[in-house]
Amino acid sequence: MKKSMIALAVLASFAGAAAAQSSVTLYGRAEVNATYSKPGDAVGGGDERWLMNDGGDNSGIGGSRWGLRGTEDLGSGLKAYFVLESGFRTDTGAAGDNAKFFNRQAYVALGSTSLGDVRLGRQETISRLINAGYTDASGIGELKVDEGVGGGRQLFQTFGQRVDNTATYITPNFGGFQVQAMVGAGEGANARYQGIMASYSAGPLKVAVGYEEYDSFGVFSDPYNKVINVGANYNFGFATLFAGYQDATDVGSNNVTAPLAATAVRDQQAWNVGVLVPIGVLQLRAQYTNVDYDLVSGAGADQQKYGVSVRYPLSKRTTLYSAVTQRDGENPGGVDATRNFTAKREITLLGVAHTF
């Protein structure tokens, strides 16, 4: 009897060790806000209205989503892991994307402490990673630098934010320095996406530089949609300053099969400055983003977005927030290419985000 008890205890210890080496976590965020919106000239005008928005809209601090992530320790510094993440709308209960169940991210990976990581699947683009982690004071949230309006013209573009069929390699961290390279196979239906990013993070300083492009598709000479991104932020303690710059040439989407319209953007340059000021547990943010468009027709325009926001954490998982933003400037699509207009004005009276 005593030997049996000892054997059972040994087996139980092995089972516990095995369980500790692998894990799967369910996580997510549910978010909704009440917002006053005035569409403005660039999107066909329209009356001001009150909206119940999901956090993924321009007025929120981030889209509602749920996901699964898991990891398994394979020994000798090697691990296998995965991420499956699906977006949804808290305001309506609808799926974030009817065509893709895990529309936000879906990849499987192998990671090594000495050799780096390889990820395969649907992943975030280099420009989105730089905008979210280095350039944008709201982390592509309520003051987001990549807002699109009026013919889809974005401020900072992000290659659609995520790319299917992507292979990524991430180097080990060398004293805060890392390099990440990505290739998204177009598989004959879309252009091939390719990008690389070098980043440094140590102490109060974070900085990243990236390059992306499309290749092998449509009527464009290859490569095209060539984008250089630079983002940085520095934490002074009493405030964190953010800055970014983007230069995009030969702009085009991943599945263009005909010449671009005269009103389409050919080149664009954007820059951004922002600040985050903690006041106790309160977080005050302010941001200004500017973009210059050069159209296929030869016309051009300068547009701006600016705003302020405040976030108040009720707990580690629940945050209240409020924001005011406006986008305006010159309208390149109007009869008079230099006509001033208000593209969009939004006032978020109250937003609630709960993570789990």
Low-confidence winner among 77-81, 180-184, 186-190 (lowest mean pLDDT) = 186-190
Does 7 fall in a domain?
A: no
Q: Which domain holds residue 246?
A: 24-355
Per-residue pLDDT at 275: 98
Does 11 fall in a domain?
A: no
Going 278 to 279 to 282 to 283, the CA torsion angle's sign is: negative
Does residue 332 surpass a pLDDT of 70? Answer: no
Q: What pLDDT digit, counting tens, does each position of 243-259 carry?
A: 999 999 999 888 877 77
Per-residue pLDDT at 236: 98
User: What total number of domains does the chain contain?
Assistant: 1
Report d(CA 56, CA 88) in Å as an integer. 9
Does 1 fall in a domain?
A: no
Q: Please report which confidence band the pLDDT of residue 56 belongs to, taking 50, 70 and 90 as the band edges.
A: confident
Q: What pLDDT digit, counting tens, does each position of 75-92 carry?
A: 999 999 999 999 999 999
Does residue 17 surpass a pLDDT of 50? Answer: no
Does 6 fall in a domain?
A: no
Does residue 55 surpass a pLDDT of 90? Answer: no
Per-residue pLDDT at 21: 75
Does 109 fall in a domain?
A: yes
CATH number of the domain residue 63 falls in: 2.40.160.10
Structure-token match 């601090």, residue found: 61
Does 12 fall in a domain?
A: no
Does 52 fall in a domain?
A: yes
Does 243 fall in a domain?
A: yes
